[in-house]
Each structure stands twice: as C-alpha cells, then as structure tokens.
Amino acid sequence: MLRGFCIAAFLLMAISAAPAANGLNVKIGYLGRADKTETISLIEMPAANDGVAGAELAIDDNNTTGKFLNQSFSLQELLLKDQDDPAAAVQKLADNGISLIVTDLPAAMLLKAADAGRQRGLFFFNAGATDDRLRQEDCRANVIHTAPSRAMLADGLAQYLVWKHWTRWLLVVGSHAPDKLFANALRRSAQRFGAQIVQEREFKDTGGARRTDSGLVQIQSQIPLFTQSAPDYDVLVAADESQVFADYMPYRTSQPRPVAGSAGLEPTTWDPAFDQWGAIQLQSRFEKKFSRWMTALDMQAWMAVRMVGEAVSHVNSDDPKAILRYTEGPDFALAAFKGRKLTVRDWDLQLRQPILLADGRTVVSVSPQQGFLHQYSELDTLGIDRPETKCKLK
C-alpha cells in the first residue's frame, strides 16, 4: 500500500512538471483585501487566506485536469489595503504576463482595476463584490461575476420565506452604506414575491468593540427593548453586512420570532455544512489542504478559477478574448456542486447560481424554490433579469 502511494506521488510530480516546459501555462492573478472585517461571532472571523484558498484549490483541480491536456495553471496573489491603488496592482500583474485576474475587492476598487486593465486587454472575475450596480449601470464588459449580487441573495431568501408563508417582515437595517444596499435588495424582493414589510427600524452603529468581557449582559436587555412594540410580524429580517447587530437578534427578540438575512437563516453561495450533489468531495479536499472550513468567498474564488480551467480545456488558449467568448457562449457550463449547471447571463456577465439558505449548522433549503417559474431558466428568478437590466456591456 505504501509503495502504491509512493509511485502515485512520483507520477503526479513527474506529470505536473512536464506541461510547464512546453505546454500552455496559464497565469492567473488574485487581487484580495489586506484589511479583513471584524465579525460579531468569533467563529466567523475570516481566515487570512479567505478567498484565495478557494482559488488555490481550483488551481490544483485545474492542474490535475491540465496534466492530461499539457496545460498548467499558476496563481499570483496581491493583497491591497483600502488606500492602495488598484490600477498599479493591475499593471504589476500585467507586467508579469497575467491577463486573467480574480478579485475580492470593494466595488469602487474593482471598477478602478477593471478600467485600468481594459487598455491591456485584461479580464476580471469578481469573486467578492455583491453590489448590484456592478451588474447594472456600472457593469463592465471585462468583468464576470461569480459572487452573487445582493438582489440574488435577497431573492433566494425571499422565495423561501414566502414559500413558508412568513410574509410579514420586520426589517431591521444597519446604519452603514452596505447595510442600506442590502435593505434595498430585500425591499425589492419583498415586492417581487409578495411579502410585506410591516415596519422598518434602523439599528445605529454607535461604535464600540465587538469583543468585550461583559457585553452579553447588556445585549440581553438591549435587543428585547429594540424589537418591542412592533406590528405583528412573522420573521425579523436583518440587513447588517457591517456585522454590528444581526447576530445579536436570534433568541433575544421581544416576540419569539425567527431571524433571517444577515443572521439566522442566511442566503449564501456556500456553507461548510453543505454536503449535497457531491459537495462533500470539495469540502474534504478543501479541509485536507487548508485545515479549515470552506467559506462562500472561497467558493466564489474556486468557481472563478474553475471557469478559467473549464474554458482553457476547451479553447486551449489563455487569450482572455477567447476565454470570454467561450464562457459567454452556449457551450459553457460549470459544475459546482449545486445540482445543476451554472451558466453566464449574457446581459450582465453574472454567473447564474442557486442560493443556499444556511442557519450556521445545516443548509435549510436551496433556492430557487419550487413554483417560482421562469420562461428561460428558474435561476433567473434570482437577481436582475434580462427585461430589468440597466447594463450596457462595453
């Protein structure tokens, strides 16, 4: 048995070394955030390699495939601080012969990067930013989105709540800009699928640390006060991307009500507890390599690098134009453990994908829900559909 493993290991090395010499070597860049946000829950603190780990695993997967096609893949990572210039980082990657870049950057930085890369013919995969404007008025012809939009996340959640007949929502919104954007998406979803927002409340961020030694005592009395005397509602929906209050809501509301949105039942593209449709295989591969669980950001980066791998295995070229043509075209499909193929919306370059609803322990459901029909693809009941698009790809 030991001998078998040694031989196997040797073969693997020999083969993966070969293509670099005379085959196609595809270099992929990764632009990530150096500043990681603080979370309310200690167990949700992002790892230093959150996101890029998913990209690295996909590089391994691409290389396993590539050894049969004389193709190899490598990743070069750059982390940017909020004040760094994304254009300079893009030039640096381009100078290293990179023309495909996976990003986990805020919307404004992504746009700077994409516009700087356009002159040099670079192509981007947005794995991190959920902003709807990147799929709408600020869409770019050289940016594919593997990250879901806020509209997709909100629609995925809303479909399930409506299916449960939890149609009366108490919407609690944080005071930061991203919280308000998520609230916009939730309002749109409520209207689309027939839920009613019985009241909205703002939870102001008054500052203060998330890690304290006696915070629990205060929170236990603050949250019931904050949520009392609301009109009758079925579910509290929290919009708190800034991690200020949502995780304090479950079990502490004045009325005994479930919580959804940024805490409780959360819409996401991946969850460490997800094991359907072969997902267990990706989860075990990831955990074996990185000794931690795989996050949604890891998954979105994995999908981006796998999209490149999938396209390269068919077009046998790392020319961004050829890769874009293939991924947008009718032959492209990505298998990503969601029980159906993922394809790209040609009107805004958003990857169509199901949305998981996870409660932190298990995956409760996967949207689109049964009964939400669409003339082309049920996945297009999630997010901005073709007739509503404001995107003009240029």
What is the closest distance, in whole angstroms, from the C-beta atom of residue 275 to another protein in the complex?
11
- Closest residue by Cα to residue 117 from 132, 104, 98, 145: 98
By beta-carbon proximity to another protein, the closer residue of 33 and 345 is 345
- Under the binding rule (CB under 8 A), the answer on residue 291 touching another protein is no
By beta-carbon proximity to another protein, the closer residue of 15 and 87 is 15
Q: Could you say which residues in the range 329-358 bind another protein, by CB under 8 A?
A: 333-335, 339-341
What is the closest distance, in whole angstroms, from the C-beta atom of residue 60 to another protein in the complex?
8
- Under the binding rule (CB under 8 A), the answer on residue 385 touching another protein is no
- The whole-angstrom separation of Cα 125 and Cα 72 is 19
What is the closest distance, in whole angstroms, from the C-beta atom of residue 156 to another protein in the complex?
16
Of 224, 278, 329, 371, which one interacts with another protein (CB under 8 A)? Answer: 278
By beta-carbon proximity to another protein, the closer residue of 222 and 377 is 377
Of 49, 136, 184, 377, which one interacts with another protein (CB under 8 A)? Answer: 377
What is the closest distance, in whole angstroms, from the C-beta atom of residue 306 to another protein in the complex?
8
As a dihedral over the C-alpha atoms of residue 114, residue 118, residue 119, residue 123, rounded to 10 degrees, the angle is 110
- Under the binding rule (CB under 8 A), the answer on residue 281 touching another protein is yes
Residue 37 is given by DSSP the state P
Write the interaction track for another protein spanning residues 225-264; mark x where CB under 8 A is met and - where it is not: ----------------------------------------
Question: 148: cis peptide before it, omega within 30°?
Answer: no
- The whole-angstrom separation of Cα 315 and Cα 242 is 41
Of 11, 17, 48, 177, which one interacts with another protein (CB under 8 A)? Answer: 11
- The whole-angstrom separation of Cα 52 and Cα 250 is 31
SS (H, E, C) 53-77: HHHHHHHHHHHHHHCCCCEEEEEEE
Of 47, 69, 315, 393, which one interacts with another protein (CB under 8 A)? Answer: 69
Sign, Cα dihedral of 223, 225, 228, 230? negative
- The whole-angstrom separation of Cα 99 and Cα 242 is 33
Of 131, 179, 298, 310, which one interacts with another protein (CB under 8 A)? Answer: 310
What is the closest distance, in whole angstroms, from the C-beta atom of residue 379 to another protein in the complex?
8
What is the closest distance, in whole angstroms, from the C-beta atom of residue 300 to another protein in the complex?
17
- The whole-angstrom separation of Cα 55 and Cα 48 is 14
Kindly determine how many residues on this chain lie close enough to bind another protein according to the rule CB under 8 A: 29
- The whole-angstrom separation of Cα 239 and Cα 237 is 7
What is the closest distance, in whole angstroms, from the C-beta atom of residue 229 to another protein in the complex?
46
CB 59 within 8 A of CB 73: yes
Residue 277 is given by DSSP the state T
What is the closest distance, in whole angstroms, from the C-beta atom of residue 11 to another protein in the complex?
5
- Closest residue by Cα to residue 269 from 334, 190, 191, 352: 352
- Under the binding rule (CB under 8 A), the answer on residue 276 touching another protein is no
Q: What is the DSSP string of 180-236?
A: HHHHHHHHHHHHHHT-EEEEEEEE------S--SSHHHHHHHHHHHHHTTPPP-SEE
- Under the binding rule (CB under 8 A), the answer on residue 133 touching another protein is no
What is the closest distance, in whole angstroms, from the C-beta atom of residue 335 to another protein in the complex?
4
By beta-carbon proximity to another protein, the closer residue of 18 and 108 is 18
CB 19 within 8 A of CB 72: yes
Residues contributing to the site for another protein (CB under 8 A): 1, 4-5, 7-8, 11-12, 15, 61, 64-65, 68-69, 278, 281, 284-285, 306, 310, 313-314, 333-335, 339-341, 377-378
